[in-house]
Amino acid sequence: MIAYNKEWLDNLYLHKKLAEARKKNLISIEELKSCEEKYPVCFYMPNFFVRIGLLLLTVVIAIFSFGLIAMMTNVTYSGSFSGLLLFFALISYGTLEFIVHAKYHYKSGADDALIWMTAAFITAAFNLYGDISALQNAIILFSISLYIALRFTNMLMSAIACISLLALVFFSYTRLGEMAKATVPFLIMLISAVIYFIVIAKQFREKLFRYADCLLMSEIACLFCLYAAGNYYVVREGSISMFQLDLKEGQSISSGWLFWPFTAIIPFIYLAIGIKKKNVVLMRSGLILIPAIIFTVRHYYSILPADIAMVIGGILMIAIGYSLIKYLRKPKHWFTDEGNDNAPLNTTKQLESLIIAQTFAQAAIETNSHTEFGGGSAGGGGAGGDF
C-alpha cells in the first residue's frame, strides 16, 4: 500500500533512532557511520528551505498550467470546469507517483504540493459539479485523506481523516431528529476516545510502525476533537449556527451545566494523566487547551479584559512549563524532561541488534588484522617447530 520503498523507510527510522542514541552518547560516531552505511537511505530529501522552495515552485507551475489550459479550452460552465479540475487531479496524482517511484522523492516539497493539489482538485470538482451536502463532503474528504495517508504516510492527511470521520458521524447522526442533535456531542466524545485508545494501543503501533507519525497526528486530533465536542462555547455556538437554535444573549443551552465541567476539567485531566503516564502528547495537549478554558469563560463572563486575561493565562502556562522543566532536569521517578523513547518494540530490537553486530564485526576485523601466521615447513597448519 505504501508508495515509498519500505526498506528505505525502515532504514530511515533506524537512522533517526541512531542519531538520538548518538546525541545521548550511547554509541560512537564510528558506530553511527558504520550502521548508516550498512543501512542506506536513497530518498531525495532536501533541507527545509529547499523543500519550501520546491513546494512553492510546484504550486506556481500547476496554477499557471491550469490557468493556461482553462483559457485555451474556454471553459464557460461548471460542468466543464469540474472536468478540468478532475483532469488536473489525475495529472497531479500521476506526477506524484512518478516522482516517488522514479525520482525517489520523500517529503521533498514537490510531493507535498502534489498531494495537497490532488486532494484540493478532486474536492473542488465535486463541489462545483453539483450542490452536495455537508455529509457528502465529509465522505469525500474522508475517502481522499485516508487513501493519501495510507499511501504516502502523510501526517496532516491522517489528522484530516480523523476529523472528517467524526464529521461524517456528526452529519449522519444529526439527521435522526432532535434527540440526536441534543446527544451528538456525547457521541463525538465517545468515538474520539475510542479512536484514541485504538491508536495508542501498543500492539497496533508495533504493527504499523511505518505510520508512527500518522498515528501521532491522529492521537493529537482525537484529543482536541474530544475536548471541542465537550466545550461549552463550541456546543452552544455550533447549535445556534447549524441547528438554528433560537437562544437569547446570555441564555444557556439545555444540559449546559454538564458542558461547563467538561470545558474546565478535561485539559487538566490530560495534564494529570500525561504526568502520571509520562506521556508528552497528553501533557502538551493539556497545556495548549488551558487558554481555551480562559477564552470560553471570558466570552460569557467578563471578569477581566480579554488582553489581560490572555496575558495572565500565558504567564501561568510559561510558569508551569518552566517549573516542570527545572524540576525534571534531574530524573524524578524515571521521569525527565529529556523526552520519552516511544520507539516500537520490534524496531528497537532491530536497532540494538545492528549496533551490536556492527560493533562485534569491527572488533573482529581489528583482531584479525593483528593476527600473524607464519613458520611451518610442512605446509599443514602453518605451525613450525619453533611455534
pLDDT in tens, 4-41: 999 999 999 888 888 888 888 888 888 888 888 889 99
Per-residue pLDDT tens for 215-234?
999 999 999 999 999 999 99
What's residue 92's pLDDT? 95
Quick one: CA torsion of 170, 173, 177, 183, rounded to 10 degrees?
A: -70
More confident residue, 251 or 85: 85
- Rounded CA-CA distance 215/207 in Å is 12
Per the model's pLDDT, the better-predicted residue between 124 and 244 turns out to be: 124
Please list the alpha-helical segments (H only) found in the chain: 6-23, 29-38, 48-73, 78-101, 110-129, 134-152, 155-173, 178-199, 202-207, 212-230, 232-243, 256-277, 280-300, 306-327, 345-369
Mean of pLDDT values over 66-70: 88
Least confident residue range of 64-78, 124-138, 284-298, 331-345: 331-345
Best CA proximity match to 140, nearest among 154, 125, 152: 125
Query: Is 387 a residue whose pLDDT tops 90?
Result: no
Alpha-carbon distance 221 to 192, whole Å? 9
Distance CA 222, CA 228 (A): 10
Q: What is the pTM of this model?
A: 0.81
pLDDT confidence of residue 281: 92
DSSP, collapsed to helix, strand or coil, labels residue 231 as: coil
Mean of pLDDT over the chain: 83
**Listed range (155-164, 200-209, 330-339) with the worst mean pLDDT:** 330-339
pLDDT in tens, 347-365: 555 555 555 555 554 444 4
Which residue reads 483532469 in cell numbers?
Answer: 87
> What is residue 79's predicted lDDT score, i.e. its pLDDT?
67
Query: Which has the minimum average pLDDT: 47-51, 79-83, 95-99, 332-336?
Result: 332-336
Look up residue 221 and give its three cell numbers. Answer: 486530533
User: Distance (Å, rounded) from C-alpha 355 to C-alpha 361?
Assistant: 10
The residue written with cell numbers 516511544 in the block is: 342
Length of the chain: 387
* Degrees, nearest 5: CA angle 221-336-18: 75
Burial 25-52 (b: 16+ CB within 10 A, else e): eebeeebbebbeeebebebeeeeeeebe
Residue 337: all three cell numbers together: 524532561
What's the grid cell of residue 120?
484540493
**pLDDT at 350 (0 to 100):** 55
Note the pLDDT of residue 188.
96
**Could you please report the per-residue DSSP string of 5-20?**
-HHHHHHHHHHHHHHH
Grade residue 273 by pLDDT with cuts at 50, 70 and 90: very high
pLDDT digits (tens, 9 = 90+) for 78-127: 668 888 999 999 999 999 999 999 999 999 999 999 999 999 999 999 99
Q: Please write the tens of the pLDDT for every residue from 280-322.
A: 899 889 988 988 888 888 878 777 676 777 787 778 778 877 8
